[in-house]
Amino acid sequence: MNRIAVFVDAGYFYASASELLFGAPLRRGELRLANAEFAQYLAQVAETIGGCPLLRIYWYDGTNSGPTAAHLAMAYLDNVKLRLGFVNQSGEQKGVDGLIFSDLTNLARNRAISDALLLAGDEDLRVGVQQAQEHGIRVHLLGVEPKDPSGNQSAALQREADTRRQLDAVALGQFLFRREYAGTPVAEAEAAAVDADVAHNLARMQELANEYAATLDTTQRELILALPERTPLPHELDRELLLRASELLGRKLEETEKRTLRGALRVAVTAATPSTAG
């Protein structure tokens, strides 16, 4: 089938791109990626290179405590599949190459794609590229322009690929930004933007609580009204409410947001239930 899939090693991308843009590999907390815009850009690059429609983007990363808010923001994007390995006690990413290898070779074996765009640099992926090519798949290697002359991609992996391209600082600078910290005018402006975002998100959650309350039947509303103030909501209702909010915001909710949303639902249910007082 004439479709192209994109495989992104997030560890390679963040390390190489931050080194190119900011002079050294930075920690994730120091970086901000415009997820939706970058995913759209990758899709356009892939379709241009492959000359065929996008199947999806596979985004691979490591974690030591489950998906982060940044992971969830990526996972909720259209046509993006999040795959997580793990990070060991030394801070090393493990299992990601194996996930890329498995997805690349399985899609090739099942004739689900005709082309693959690989944004990665590890030599361990060379065999996966070979096996995909044995099934007739063309593998295009996409890298980040190296700041160091020694490069940031395995030479063996580069030789194995059908085509090779690089993302330069001009392209990457549209999507990857360095976070500023307190005490600077930029940080103050960002803090104000964050406050505005929080207020906007709270308003959206209040609206969601109202919409969700309207879908509840009489029995569910009466159950919520009968609960003491600090008693948790029924598990199924609570899970559905939080899931809808996560999908709306494109990320995992903070604990304070969960409490606000639950309180907003109780208020919405109370407002939507006719009083029986005589």
What is the CATH architecture of 4-178? Answer: 3-Layer(aba) Sandwich (3.40)
Task: Name, of 28-42, 197-211, 215-229, 262-276, the range with top average pLDDT.
Answer: 28-42
Q: Inform me whether the pLDDT recorded for 166 exceeds 70.
A: yes
Q: Where in the chain do CATH 3.40.50.1010 domains reside?
A: 4-178
Q: Mean per-residue pLDDT for 249-258?
A: 74
Q: Inform me whether the pLDDT recorded for 222 exceeds 90.
A: no
Confidence of residue 234 (pLDDT cuts 50, 70, 90): confident
DSSP readout, 56-80? EEEEEEEESSS--HHHHHHHTSTTE
Q: Report the relative pairing of strands 80-87 and 93-94 from DSSP bridges.
A: antiparallel
Q: Which of 29-38, 102-111, 142-151, 236-245 has the lowest mean pLDDT?
A: 236-245
Residue 130 phi, psi dihedral angles, 5° rounding: -60, -45
What pTM was computed for the model? 0.66
Distance in angstroms (rounded) separating the CA atoms of residues 49 and 117: 8
Q: Inform me whether the pLDDT recorded for 201 exceeds 50.
A: yes
Q: Counting runs of H as helices and runs of E as strands, what totals does the chain give?
A: 11, 9
pLDDT score for 167: 97
Q: Mean per-residue pLDDT for 80-88?
A: 85
Sign of CA dihedral 218, 220, 223, 224: negative
Distance in angstroms (rounded) separating the CA atoms of residues 149 and 4: 31
The answer to whether 101 touches 127, Cβ cutoff 8 Å, is yes
